[in-house]
Structure 1
Amino acid sequence: MQHTEDVFRRRGESGGSIEVICGSMFSGKTEELMRRLKRARIARLSVEIFSPKADTRYSDNALVSHNSNSIPSMPVSKASSILLPGSQVQVVGIDEAQFFDDELPEVCNALANKGVRVIIAGLDMDFQGKPFGPMPALMAIAESVTKLHAVCVKCGNPALYSYRIVPGDSQILLGEKESYEPRCRICYNT
């Protein structure tokens, strides 16, 4: 199976593109984003990485996966800050896209239309199983969407839901294994 970035590069397409990596918590979204960005750097492409300023669970200026792997990033408070006027960046990485404002799809389209490869990672659903933030719109405009699955902690099947194990109704609750666990459809609903 060919990876999306290999297909785009082999075809010789010089235009931009939007790639979305989505799934539940603990499915490896940030790891996959970092893998693609590291490959872009190996190819000597100019790379910029962004994360929402509100998400400081691990670091203020780095993407950090649940496996403690990290890569420097620039925290921004709104999607329009990603546009980088006058920049010659070739690849833009965006993590935790669900926490950005509704301008993110427009920003990503503008970058892709300028020839930038945009790689986005984020939760596609919130803890209630509902589409999360700008992710549905990003998935609709993307050239490729990669949906990753975690392992259900109850039965071992592929998990696509982020089940909240602490009380609260707020859509946004930053947390880790003390607050969420990955579950399959059956275990999520029981």
Structure 2
Amino acid sequence: MGFIFCYMETLRSVRLGVLLLLLQVLSSSFAELTPCINGFDSEVFIFKVHRPHLHRGRKLGRVLFNNCAGRGYNIYSSTDQHFQVDVDGTVELKTQLTLHQVQEFSVHAWDSEGKRYTASVRVENHHHAQQEETKNMNINVLKLWRQKRRCMLIPPLSVPENQKRPFPKLIAVVSVDDL
């Protein structure tokens, strides 16, 4: 009996090992089906700030660049002298800046073969963006009539306690007077 139990455990372990091996082979084949493509994750990156006055060194966000060479860093450049992009893609201010309107600029990145990729970056004041959106939208305003005041006249109620039939009995009539 002990031999059969040991044999069953070994068989179960072999099945588990084969299953894990199949899963590993299938997952690697699926990974090969999706090729790596160099470039930015998006064509436009939008960073929203809550204040119009931005100080030097403030980090606004990150631009994400896929580099199939496997490097953890990339070389970036900005077309606006107020902004710099670190090797990890973090966009930060080089100089103090006051946002009067939406600030747009481009960020360039190079892959391992030297090909240049470009993405647009928009920095906008969160409050200004909301105001511009409401200005551009046609808002339908529902105008309600002014509510009228009414006076309800309720007569005194008089109902005997043990009265029989007819039911339902009309007790009172409420009248409404418009003022």
* TM-score interval, normalised by the smaller of the two chains: under 0.3
Q: TM-score, normalised by structure 2?
A: 0.25
Q: TM-score, normalised by structure 1?
A: 0.24
Larger radius of gyration: 2
Which structure's relative contact order is higher, taking Cα pairs within 8 Å and 6+ residues apart?
1
Pick the structure with more strand per residue. 2
